[in-house]
Amino acid sequence: MAAHISIPEAKTQERCAIAKQDQWNVEALYSSWQAWEEDLLKWGRESSSPHWPELNAFKESWKKSSEDLKKLIDICCEIDRQLSKLHTYAHLRHDEDVSEEVAKKAYSRITALLYAFAQEAAWIEPELLAYPEEKLDALIHSKPLDSYRFYLEKMVWMKKHTLPAEQEELLAMAGKSLETASQAFGAFNNADLKFPPAVDSQGQQKELTHGKYQLYLRSPDRALRESAFKNLHRSFLSYENTLCELLSGQVQCHLFGMKSRKFASCVEAALFPHQIDVSVYHSLIQAVKTHLPALHRYMNLRKKMMGLDQLHLYDLHVPLVKQVDMGMSYEEASKLIIESVAVLGKDYQNSLTQGLTKDRWVDRYENTKKRSGAYSSGCYDSMPYILMNYHGTLNDALTLTHESGHSMHSLLSRANQPYHYSRYSIFVAEVASTFHEELLLRHLLNRVTSKEQKAFLINQKLDDMRSTLLRQTMFAEFELKIHRWAEQGIPMTPELLKTEYRKLNQEYFGPDVLIDEEADIEWSRIPHFYYNFYVYQYATGISAAHALVDRVVNGGDKEREEYLTFLSSGSSKYPIDVLKLAGVDMRTPQPVEAAMRHFDALVTQLGELLR
């Protein structure tokens, strides 16, 4: 929290100018593209067809012996494991510079192979499911298949919605083409789209990129915020028809999946595989909407504190407490993050220290044509890599701890589970990350002494809950809406999208926020709308995480161990059940209700501190 880090004036650096220690350690995965090619030849066999004839050898025999079925699943897991290793390397290298040709080609080759694999293995599930129930049950409960029992049970759970083998094969064949809308949006958003520079109050032009946009929105210079907001959204607005078609295309893919597998709705199709009832989705929206007056109160407080006649959407990210400077370098942030997780024990802290400061999990800084945003990624045989565009704000430190939460979850699940249970489900994916964020905030709140700093942090927390719990629920509601249109045959148009988006903005933010025309196009720039009912899980995740932080911080060894068990469980149980291991039940609306009450209480607390 020492040195103030200002908005970088310099142009974004080329990748070659970034120090090795600040780049992720991709060499640990493959020493070179040549090593990658050799592995690709061994596992992908691009030129032969079928690529994996060994699968077909089991087409008849699996029914005869559970040992053969086990062997078949073993082989599938091994191929999948090796392909995802190849995929990880290609996608990391691709994201370092999305315009670089070698990585782009490699990424597209390995993606094609993953589809080919899905296609060649597509017969297995329907064949299994078509097998007489009693015989299948006997197989699942036979000794050799012990280690795959839950894996097979999950497959049987999908039985009602699995198609005959030939149709499944057809669906798998269509897989790659069904990605077009989301791939095209990614290419447009990350590489092709350029924004005009933002202009600050001194009339100075500032380069506008995805990474810098977030930074400008936190600037005290209102002219800069407004200009960044308007220039960014106007750029999207000028492509509104194309962007509407892309989003519509993506929703049509979901509709195709829903109809072909005979689900009642797109949202049901997305939630069913994880055994999550659609009522969890609806009750989230319900619980948040009941508490919207808390957000309106916060907006009113913000307007007063900023001394503005009118609050705009570009005024929502500025810290309300201007005099407190809490920017920090990457090194300072890592140190604080490691201290903040002390409640999770020494082993946990040591692994995290290793990753953030020595093993180079993190690709720290922005470079030209690097993928925007931040994520944690990797595979069973890699470190849990983190992509960041660290600029030195408190918010960047929160992003770093957020992504490290994901990475620790991956690390523990991979270390404690066999390959086929090592990937945790999306529903629980945001729990560990939010847990980390909450710990860092509490750690900082404990360290600071002045009223201003406390207010600054509570303000930060409120903004974080606003964007994670409230904004994502608004997104979830919008997503539900656009899928319902598709289900009802209502055509998507830019006008309809903008009108409905405006209504939601007005309802969520309330009477104190003026919604600029430019904000109506915001839907067009949200990558998550291409993910198929993903965003609601940020909101349920933050609610679960809040409940768990309270439980672990106020608890003892038992509560800590239960939380670590959850982190180590991967997908060895259904998501709602792994969360129950840690002590929180998402089948009830209570965690969301409690999180919203917490938000409400923080608004009051901030109001008092600022009085």
Give dist(CA 591, CA 220) in Å, integer: 35
In the complex, the smallest distance separating the C-beta of residue 406 from Zn ion, rounded to whole angstroms, is: 6
Minimal distance, residue 387 CB to Zn ion, in Å: 12
Applying CB under 5 A, which of residues 413, 433, 459, 540 lies at the interface with Zn ion?
433
Q: Is 403 a catalytic residue?
A: yes
Work out the widest C-alpha separation in the chain, in whole angstroms. 78
> Which range in 46-54, 58-66, 191-199, 427-435 contacts Zn ion by CB under 5 A?
427-435
Q: Between 377 and 433, whose beta carbon lies closer to Zn ion?
A: 433
Which of residues 265 and 467 has its CB atom nearest to Zn ion in the complex? 467
Q: Select 115 or 533, whichever has its Cβ closest to Zn ion.
A: 533
Residues 140-159 that bind Zn ion (CB under 5 A): none
Based on CB atoms, which residue is closest to Zn ion, 315 or 437?
437
> Nearer to Zn ion by C-beta: 115 or 424?
424
* Residue range at the interface with Zn ion (CB under 5 A); choices 107-115, 277-285, 433-441, 448-456: 433-441
CB of 356 to Zn ion, least distance (A): 16
d(CA 304, CA 439) in angstroms, rounded, equals 30
| One-letter identity of residue 321 | V
CA–CA separation, 385 vs 129, rounded Å? Answer: 37
- For Zn ion, the closer of residues 121 and 526 by Cβ is 526
d(CA 94, CA 83): 16
Q: For 352, which DSSP code?
A: H
Number of H helices, E strands in the chain: 25, 7
Q: Which residue type occupies 340?
A: S
Residue with tokens 């949200």: 526
DSSP-assigned letter for residue 4: -
Residues in 215-244 at the binding interface with Zn ion, rule: CB under 5 A: none
Taking the complex as a whole, the smallest distance from the CB of residue 467 to Zn ion amounts, in Å, to 12
Query: Which are the contacts of 531, defined by CB distance < 8 A and separation ≥ 6?
Result: none
CB 387, CB 375: distance < 8 Å: yes
Active-site choice (226, 403, 437, 559): 403
Q: How many residues bind Zn ion (CB under 5 A)?
A: 1
Which of the residues 241 through 270 are near Zn ion (CB under 5 A)? none
Three-class SS state of 198: strand
Which residues partner with 513 through β-bridges? 311
Whole-angstrom Cα distance, residue 500 to residue 590?
A: 29
Task: Report 330-389 residues binding Zn ion (CB under 5 A).
Answer: none
Q: Which stretch binds Zn ion (CB under 5 A): 29-37, 194-202, 426-434, 596-604?
A: 426-434
Residues of span 188-217 touching Zn ion by CB under 5 A: none
Q: CB 405 → Zn ion: shortest distance, Å? A: 8
Minimum distance from residue 402 beta carbon to Zn ion (Å): 6
Smallest distance, Zn ion to C-beta of residue 430, A: 5
* Nearest residue to Zn ion on Cβ basis: 433
Name the token pair of 149: 């029992």
With contacts defined by CB under 5 A, name the span among 3-11, 130-138, 341-349, 431-439 that binds Zn ion.
Answer: 431-439
Question: Applying CB under 5 A, does 407 fall inside the site for Zn ion?
Answer: no
| Cβ atoms of 559 and 549 closer than 8 Å | no
Find where tokens 């005959």 sit: 164
User: How many whole angstroms separate alpha carbon 434 and alpha carbon 208?
Assistant: 28
CB of residue 136 to Zn ion, shortest distance in Å:
37
Q: Nearer Cβ to Zn ion, position 106 or 374? A: 374
Alpha helices in 330-425 (DSSP H): 330-340, 346-353, 394-416
Nearer to Zn ion, 55 or 383 (CB): 383
* H/E stretch holding 513: strand 513-514
Enumerate the β-bridge partners of residue 514.
312
By C-beta, is 62 or 435 nearer to Zn ion? 435
Q: Could you give the residue ranges of the DSSP H alpha helices within 466-573?
A: 471-488, 494-509, 536-554, 557-567
Region of 51-59, 112-120, 425-433, 443-451 interacting with Zn ion (CB under 5 A): 425-433
Question: Where does this chain touch Zn ion (CB under 5 A) — which range of 95-103, 196-204, 379-387, 429-437?
Answer: 429-437
Q: Nearer to Zn ion by C-beta: 403 or 479?
A: 403
Which pair of structure tokens corresponds to residue 298?
């916060």
Identify which range of 69-77, 281-289, 430-438, 500-508 contacts Zn ion by CB under 5 A. Answer: 430-438
Q: How far is the CB of 432 from Zn ion (least distance, A)?
A: 9
Which 287-306 positions form the footprint of Zn ion (CB under 5 A)?
Answer: none
Shortest Cβ 384–Zn ion spacing (Å): 12
Cα angle value 11/16/22 (rounded, 5°): 90
DSSP calls for 320-351: S-TT------HHHHHHHHHHHTGGG-HHHHHH
The strands making up 375-377's β-sheet, listed across from edge to edge, are 362-363, 385-387, 375-377
Site for Zn ion in 85-124 (CB under 5 A): none
Q: Which of 603, 605, 611, 520 lies closest to 300, judged by CA?
A: 603
Q: Segment contacting Zn ion (CB under 5 A): 242-250, 308-316, 432-440, 575-583?
A: 432-440
Q: Which of 225, 211, 208, 197 is nearest to 314 (CA)?
A: 225
DSSP states of 123-185 = THHHHHHHS-HHHHHHHHTSGGGGGGHHHHHHHHHTGGGPPPHHHHHHHHHHTTGGGHHHHHH
Of 505 and 537, which CB lies nearer to Zn ion in the complex structure? 537
DSSP H or E stretch at residue 387: strand 385-387
Q: Pick left, alpha or beta for residue 467 (phi over 0 → left; psi -120 to 50 → alpha; otherwise beta).
A: alpha
State the minimum distance, in angstroms, from the CB of residue 226 to Zn ion.
29
- Catalytic residue positions? 403
Q: Which residues sit at the interface with Zn ion, rule CB under 5 A? A: 433
